[in-house]
C-alpha cells in the first residue's frame, strides 16, 4: 500500500510538469498580447508608442524566449510563488489564498449534500423497486441529469426571487469569521452545484444496490432469516458503495468546474469569478496558476478515491 501511494505520488510529477507545459504553451502559442491589452486599456482609446509596448513587455517578462519564461514560472511555482498577475500586478498567490478556500468549501458542500441526498434516494428506490416511490424518484433523477448546472442555479434563483423577493447577497462572510452567515450564503449554491450529482449518484446507487440484491450471499442472508433492514444495511450497502465511490471520484472535477458557473450566478467571490476575470483580461499568469492548482486537486482526489477502494474492499490490495 505504502509502495503504491509513493508510486502514485511520484507519478504526479510528470503529469504536473506536462500539464504546466501544456497550459503554458497554450497561453503563449495562440494569439493575444497581454502587454498590448494593458496599454490599450478597457476603453481602447489610450494612446501608446512602440517603446511603451516594449517596456510593458519587458516588465511582464513576455519579451523573453518562451523557454526562459516557462522555467522562471515553473521554478517560482516550486517555491510557492505563482508569479504576478499580468493585469493587477499583485502576486497571484494572494488572490488564490483568498479565493480558493471559498471554492473548496463550496465544492465539498456540493458533493457532501449530493451524497447525503442521493445515496438514501437510490437505496430507497432500489428497495422499493417498481413502486410509486421508485417511479417518482426515477422521474426526478432522469430530469435532473438533463439539467446543466447553470440552469439549476438560475432556476433556484428565479424561484427564490419570484416567490420570496430574495436576492443573492452582496457581502460575503468567511466561514471562520461568521459561520452561520457563511452557511446561509453557501447552502443554496451548494444545492444547485450538487443537484446534478444528487440525481446521477442516486441512479448509480439504485442500479448498484439492485445488482447486489441479485447476489447469492444476499439470498443466503435472507434465507437465514436476517431482518430485511440488516440485509440492506450490513450486506448490501457495503458492497454497493464501491461503484458509487468511483462515480463520486469522477464527479469531483466536474463539480469543481461547476463552481465557476454557480459562483457567477450566486455572486460567491470564489475562484470562478477570478478565472472569468482573468480570461477577459488575458491574465495569463493567473489562468496558468489556477489551472495547475485545480489539476493538482483533481489528481489528489483521484488518488484518495483509489485508496478508499482498498479500505472498503479487502479483495483489492495494491502491491
Partner 1 sequence: MASRDVGSLEAQMTLTRRGMDRLRSAQATAKGFSTRKPLGAAGAVLVLILVFIAVFAPLLAPKDPYHVDPVGNRYSAPGGELILGGDEVGRDVLSRIIYGTRLSLHVGIFSVVLGIAIGAVLGISSAYVGGKFDLVVQRIVDTLMAFPGLILALAIMAVLGSGVYNVIAALVVVFVPGVTRIVRSQALSIKEMDYVTAARALGCGASRIMVRHILPNTFASLIVLATITLGWAIIVEASLSFLGAGVPADIPSWGGMLSYSAQRYIKVAPWLIIAPGVAIGVTVFSVNMLGDALRDVLDPRLRGTGSSA
Nearer to partner 1, 26 or 316 (CB): 26
Nearer to partner 1, 22 or 227 (CB): 22
Nearer to partner 1, 142 or 230 (CB): 142
Grid coordinates standing for 274? 477570478
Nearer to partner 1, 231 or 272 (CB): 272
Nearest approach in angstroms of CB 68 to partner 1 is: 20
Nearer to partner 1, 82 or 235 (CB): 82
Nearest approach in angstroms of CB 207 to partner 1 is: 9
Nearer to partner 1, 243 or 269 (CB): 243
Nearest approach in angstroms of CB 43 to partner 1 is: 18
Nearest approach in angstroms of CB 28 to partner 1 is: 9
| Site of interaction with partner 1 (CB under 8 A) | 14-15, 18-19, 22-23, 26-27, 30-32, 142-143, 145-151, 154-155, 157-158, 161-162, 168, 196, 200, 204, 243, 247, 250, 253-254, 256-258, 260-261, 264-265, 275-276, 278-280, 282, 287, 290-291, 294-295, 298-299
In 10 A of CB 237, how many CB atoms? 17
Nearest approach in angstroms of CB 313 to partner 1 is: 17
Nearest approach in angstroms of CB 252 to partner 1 is: 9
Nearer to partner 1, 121 or 287 (CB): 287
Residues 6+ apart with CB under 8 A from 81: 91, 93
* 3-state SS record for the chain: CHHHHHHHHHHHHHHHHHHHHHHHHHHHHCCCCHHHHHHHCCCCCCCCCHHHHHHHHHHHCCCCCHHHHHHHHHHHHHCCCCCECCCCCCEHHHHHHHHHHHHHHHHHHHHHHHHHHHHHHHHHHHHCCCCHHHHHHHHHHHHHCCCCHHHHHHHHHHHHHHHHCCCCCCCCCCCCCCHHHHHHHHHHHHHHHHHHHHHHHHHHHHHHHHHHHCCHHHHHHHHCCCCHHHHHHHHHHHHHHHHHHHHHHHHHHHHHHHHHHHHHHHCCCCHHHHHHHHHHCCCHHHHHHHHHHHHHHHHHHHHHHHHHHHHHCCCCCCC
Nearest approach in angstroms of CB 122 to partner 1 is: 14
Amino acid at each position: 500500500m505504502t509502495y503504491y501511494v509513493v508510486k502514485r505520488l511520484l507519478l504526479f510529477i510528470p503529469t504536473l510538469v506536462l500539464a504546466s507545459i501544456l497550459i503554458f504553451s497554450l497561453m503563449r502559442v495562440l494569439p493575444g498580447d497581454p502587454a498590448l491589452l494593458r496599454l490599450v486599456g478597457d476603453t481602447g482609446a489610450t494612446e501608446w508608442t512602440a517603446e511603451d509596448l516594449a517596456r510593458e513587455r519587458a516588465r511582464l517578462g513576455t519579451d523573453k524566449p518562451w523557454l526562459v519564461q516557462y522555467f522562471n514560472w515553473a521554478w517560482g511555482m516550486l517555491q510557492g510563488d505563482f508569479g504576478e498577475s499580468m493585469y493587477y500586478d499583485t502576486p497571484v498567490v494572494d488572490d488564490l489564498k483568498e479565493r480558493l478556500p471559498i471554492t473548496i468549501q463550496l465544492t465539498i458542500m456540493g458533493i457532501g449534500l449530493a451524497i447525503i441526498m442521493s445515496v438514501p434516494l437510490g437505496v430507497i428506490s432500489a428497495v422499493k423497486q417498481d413502486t410509486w416511490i421508485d417511479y417518482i424518484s426515477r422521474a426526478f433523477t432522469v430530469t435532473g441529469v438533463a439539467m446543466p448546472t447553470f440552469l439549476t442555479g438560475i432556476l433556484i434563483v428565479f424561484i427564490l426571487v419570484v416567490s420570496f423577493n430574495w436576492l443573492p447577497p452582496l457581502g460575503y462572510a468567511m466561514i471562520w469569521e461568521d459561520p452561520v452567515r457563511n452557511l446561509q450564503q453557501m447552502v443554496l449554491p451548494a444545492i444547485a452545484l450538487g443537484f446534478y450529482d444528487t440525481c446521477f449518484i442516486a441512479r448509480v446507487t439504485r442500479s448498484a444496490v439492485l445488482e447486489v440484491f441479485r447476489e447469492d450471499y444476499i439470498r443466503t442472508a435472507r434465507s437465514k432469516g436476517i431482518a430485511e433492514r440488516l440485509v440492506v444495511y450490513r450486506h448490501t450497502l457495503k458492497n454497493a458503495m464501491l461503484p458509487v465511490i468511483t462515480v463520486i471520484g469522477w464527479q469531483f472535477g466536474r463539480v469543481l468546474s461547476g463552481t465557476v458557473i454557480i459562483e457567477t450566478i450566486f455572486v460567491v467571490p470564489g475562484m470562478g469569478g477570478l478565472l472569468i476575470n482573468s480570461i477577459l483580461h488575458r491574465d495569463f499568469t493567473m489562468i496558468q496558476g489556477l489551472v495547475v492548482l485545480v489539476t493538482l486537486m483533481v489528481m489528489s482526489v483521484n488518488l484518495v478515491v483509489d485508496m478508499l477502494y482498498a479500505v472498503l474492499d479487502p479483495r483489492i490490495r495494491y502491491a
